[in-house]
């Protein structure tokens, strides 16, 4: 499709039925998870102190940093009653995974070996930073830059605190890098970090971004390429946003990084809106829903979601907004959208 395609928002092909995007509140499920976290904090003083520091020093909630819990078989019925269902995911010791299909909540591994023990895994951006900041003495499982890394943080009163790092992987089993995989990862991350962003013609900017995407997908695949793209976007946004830099500094003080980011918003001209959507689809996103304020409003918004395999943030890049506004500067030109935590 041409980079000058200018399909009006109101003329786009209809999306799937609106009820496909009816995301209900899940108060019972959230309350259940929060109760398990509260019980865990009563038993683990390190986690309790860290939770208080998160609130006081970063303004964030430990709930938002929780990647998963490991509970015993006796909890399965209550979780299912709250809406959780089995999800296919790779585990190491025969655990099965429960996930709420219509809410963004920490997943739960059900283990026959838990026997009253609770495990809570936090999700900092980088495990190595978390280890260094908290002077941990344990060696992490999983190689640097591999799909899944995990380190024991603290264990007391049968409450085990872990920290995990993910690289476009929704499972729970570390795996060694193969062959030249590390070299490809380093190269792909560098390609996104050094992508040129200023052009005299925005169409050239989109063309350059598409070339970078093709190169990185060939090197490391779509999922990891998507993760590295958004790492580079957050770094770019942070350089241009003082409030973002302050918040990042606060979270880095606890070794957390941007592990809790929630979504990204991109501003784009109408002229190149289709180009932006096509780029995001190539990253693996799916078009989910559209906001259209009317012909005289001068703006519209499309929401995309990426749920297949890729994980970034607490559970995934749950969604991003691509906003077309009359007269707005384009994504590859001089303006970049924001990130939210």
Going by C-beta distance under 8 Å and a sequence separation of 6 or more, which residues neighbour residue 313?
259, 260, 261, 262
The residue among 2 and 265 whose pLDDT is bigger is 265
Mean pLDDT across the chain, nearest whole number?
A: 84
Residue 21 CB: number of other CB atoms within 10 A?
Answer: 12
**329: exposed, middle or buried (C-beta count within 10 Å: 0-12, 13-18, 19+)?**
middle
pLDDT at 12 over 70: no
Going by C-beta distance under 8 Å and a sequence separation of 6 or more, which residues neighbour residue 218?
none
Tokens of 276: 């932006």
pLDDT at 11 over 60: no
Instruction: Name which of 319, 318, 323 is nearest 292 in CA terms.
Output: 323
**147: exposed, middle or buried (C-beta count within 10 Å: 0-12, 13-18, 19+)?**
buried
The residue among 103 and 256 whose pLDDT is bigger is 256
**The predicted structure's pLDDT at residue 281:** 93
Residue 75 CB: number of other CB atoms within 10 A?
Answer: 20
**The predicted structure's pLDDT at residue 72:** 96
- Confidence label for 20 from pLDDT (cuts 50, 70 and 90): low
**97: exposed, middle or buried (C-beta count within 10 Å: 0-12, 13-18, 19+)?**
buried
| Full 3-state SS string of 191-213 | HHHCCCCCCCCHHHHHHHHHHHH
C-alpha 208/C-alpha 224 separation (Å) is 19
pLDDT at 77 over 70: yes
- Confidence label for 119 from pLDDT (cuts 50, 70 and 90): very high
**The predicted structure's pLDDT at residue 330:** 37
SS3 253: coil
In the block, tokens 């012909």 appear at: 295
Q: Buried b vs exposed e over 106-139: b needs ≥16 C-beta within 10 Å?
A: bbbbbbeebeebbbbbbbbbbbebbbeebebeee
**The predicted structure's pLDDT at residue 181:** 95
**The predicted structure's pLDDT at residue 262:** 85
pTM of the predicted model, to two decimals?
A: 0.82
C-alpha 29/C-alpha 36 separation (Å) is 11
**The predicted structure's pLDDT at residue 7:** 31
- Confidence label for 314 from pLDDT (cuts 50, 70 and 90): very low
- Mean pLDDT, to the nearest integer, of 301-310? 56
Lowest mean pLDDT among 22-26, 72-76, 287-291: 287-291
Partners of 166 in beta bridges: 148
pLDDT in tens, 193-224: 999 999 999 999 999 999 999 999 999 999 99
State percent of the chain over pLDDT 70: 78
- Confidence label for 260 from pLDDT (cuts 50, 70 and 90): very high
Cβ distance 172 to 87 under 8 Å? no
- Mean pLDDT, to the nearest integer, of 15-22? 49
Cβ distance 72 to 111 under 8 Å? yes
Highest mean pLDDT among 11-25, 128-142, 275-289: 128-142
Tokens of 232: 């580079």
Residue 48 CB: number of other CB atoms within 10 A?
Answer: 17
C-alpha 276/C-alpha 208 separation (Å) is 13
Residue 237 CB: number of other CB atoms within 10 A?
Answer: 17
**The predicted structure's pLDDT at residue 309:** 35
pLDDT at 311 over 70: no
C-alpha 290/C-alpha 278 separation (Å) is 15
**The predicted structure's pLDDT at residue 216:** 98
Going by C-beta distance under 8 Å and a sequence separation of 6 or more, which residues neighbour residue 217?
225
Lowest mean pLDDT among 94-98, 260-264, 305-309, 328-332: 328-332
- Mean pLDDT, to the nearest integer, of 272-297? 80
**The predicted structure's pLDDT at residue 148:** 98
273-282 helix and 202-220 helix, angle to the nearest 10 degrees: 0
Radius of gyration over alpha carbons of the chain, in Å? 21
Partners of 69 in beta bridges: 108, 120
pLDDT at 173 over 80: yes
**The predicted structure's pLDDT at residue 306:** 65
Instruction: Name which of 308, 258, 300 is nearest 277 in CA terms.
Output: 300
pLDDT in tens, 126-157: 999 999 999 999 999 999 999 999 999 999 99
- Confidence label for 286 from pLDDT (cuts 50, 70 and 90): confident
Lowest mean pLDDT among 157-161, 255-259, 284-288: 284-288
C-alpha 121/C-alpha 156 separation (Å) is 14
């Amino acid at each position: 499709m041409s980079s000058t395609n200018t399909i009006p928002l109101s003329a786009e092909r209809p999306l799937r039925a609106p009820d496909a995007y009816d995301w209900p509140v899940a108060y019972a499920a959230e309350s259940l998870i929060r109760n398990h976290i509260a019980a865990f904090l009563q038993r683990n003083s390190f986690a309790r102190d860290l939770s208080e520091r998160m609130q006081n020093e970063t303004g964030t909630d430990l709930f938002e940093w929780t990647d998963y819990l490991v509970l015993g078989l006796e909890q399965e019925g209550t979780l299912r009653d709250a809406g959780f269902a089995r999800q296919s995911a790779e585990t190491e010791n025969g655990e099965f995974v429960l996930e709420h299909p219509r809410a963004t909540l920490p997943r739960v591994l059900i283990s026959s070996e838990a026997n009253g023990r609770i495990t809570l895994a936090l999700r900092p951006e980088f495990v190595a930073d978390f280890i260094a900041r908290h002077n941990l003495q344990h060696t992490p499982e999983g190689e640097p830059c591999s799909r899944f890394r995990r380190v024991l943080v603290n264990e007391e009163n049968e409450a085990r605190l872990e920290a995990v790092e993910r690289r476009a992987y929704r499972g729970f089993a570390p795996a060694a890098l193969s062959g030249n995989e590390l070299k490809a990862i380093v190269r792909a991350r560098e390609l996104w970090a050094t992508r040129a962003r200023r052009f005299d013609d925005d169409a050239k900017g989109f063309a350059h971004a598409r070339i970078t995407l093709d190169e990185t997908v060939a090197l490391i695949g779509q999922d990891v390429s998507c993760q590295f793209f958004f790492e580079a976007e957050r770094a770019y946004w942070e350089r241009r946003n003082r409030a973002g830099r302050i918040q990042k500094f606060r979270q880095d003080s606890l070794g957390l990084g941007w592990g809790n980011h929630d979504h990204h918003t991109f501003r784009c001209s109408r002229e190149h809106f289709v180009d932006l959507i096509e780029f995001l689809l190539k990253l693996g996103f799916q078009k989910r829903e559209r906001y259209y304020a009317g012909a005289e409003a001068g703006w519209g918004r499309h929401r995309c979601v990426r749920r297949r395999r890729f994980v970034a943030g607490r559970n995934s890049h749950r969604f991003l907004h691509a906003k077309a506004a009359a007269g707005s500067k384009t994504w590859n030109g001089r303006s970049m959208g924001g990130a939210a935590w």
